[in-house]
Amino acid sequence: MKFFVDTADVAEIRDLASTGLVDGVTTNPSIIAKSGLNFFDVIAEICDIVDGPVSAEVAATDHETMLKEGQKLAQIASNVAVKVPLTPDGLKTCKVLSDAGTQVNVTLCFSAGQAILAAKAGATFVSPFVGRLDDISRDGMGLIEEICTIYANYETFETEVLVASIRSPNHVIESAQIGADVVTVPPSVLRQLFKHPLTDSGLEAFLSDWAGSGQSILGS
């Protein structure tokens, strides 16, 4: 399973990427606006840090303008994945960009029917938003299971399921149990995944016993 981080915070990306566990990055217009940074500059910087796909989202809603925006974003770096919304114009744009060899992430997916359309449009990734479905008392992870089952039925569907709008480590674990291809996680959730109280207390005891032994691994 691939791990993407869902942020435009360059310091966080740099720090998490240094673990060797980050396979890509996703952003959206809200994340970019919140960062206060120039869209093109920050995407270029992130693309330098991470080798894998970096999602940059179009802001237009009509096909012609979306296509121009997508082509411009794709020129920033070879690892840009153009993000388009799951609308008729978005999927039309996805098809043209995908046919031209550009990676496309179809975002704002909330149903299995929409995910089928994204696969038919040749999307590299489809992003179902689990947290936002849970927020309205719908079954976010149930949708991931449904999409993965459908995609597995068709060899011609090469679209990867990118679980988005993740709110907790449980979303990541359940995504892995289902076999989703990618999760995009806020940095805080990725950090939470490392943690377990028994790891902390176990390490503390090991270190204290080791100190009592009076030995040093690098010392002599």
Does residue 103 bind ligand E4P (CB under 6 A)?
A: no
Which DSSP string do the residues of 181-209 spell out, in sequence order?
A: SEEEE-HHHHHHHH--HHHHHHHHHHHHH
Least Å distance between CB 35 and ligand E4P? 13
Distances (CA, A) of 53 to 21, 35, 184, 208, 219: 14, 20, 11, 43, 43
Expressed in angstroms, the distance from the first to the final Cα of the chain is: 42
Token pair for residue 32?
């970019």
Q: Which of 34, 68, 83, 195 is catalytic?
A: 83
Strands 24-26 and 54-57: parallel
**Binding ligand E4P by CB under 6 A: which of 164, 178, 182, 189?**
164
Does residue 28 bind ligand E4P (CB under 6 A)?
A: yes
**Binding ligand E4P by CB under 6 A: which of 52, 131, 142, 169?**
131
Strands 160-163 and 182-185: parallel
Q: At a CB cut-off of 8 Å and minimum separation 6, what does 169 contact?
A: 189, 192, 193
**Binding ligand E4P by CB under 6 A: which of 165, 175, 180, 183?**
165
**Binding ligand E4P by CB under 6 A: which of 3, 5, 6, 67?**
6
Which contiguous run of DSSP H or E holds residue 94?
A: helix 88-99
Which residues, 8 to 27, sit near ligand E4P by CB under 6 A?
A: 26
Verify whether residue 83 is a known catalytic residue.
yes
Indicate the residue among 28 and 102 with the shorter CB distance to ligand E4P: 28
Indicate the residue among 83 and 210 with the shorter CB distance to ligand E4P: 83
Q: Which residues sit at the interface with ligand E4P, rule CB under 6 A? A: 6, 26, 28, 107, 127, 129, 131-132, 164-165, 184
Report the catalytic residues. Answer: 83
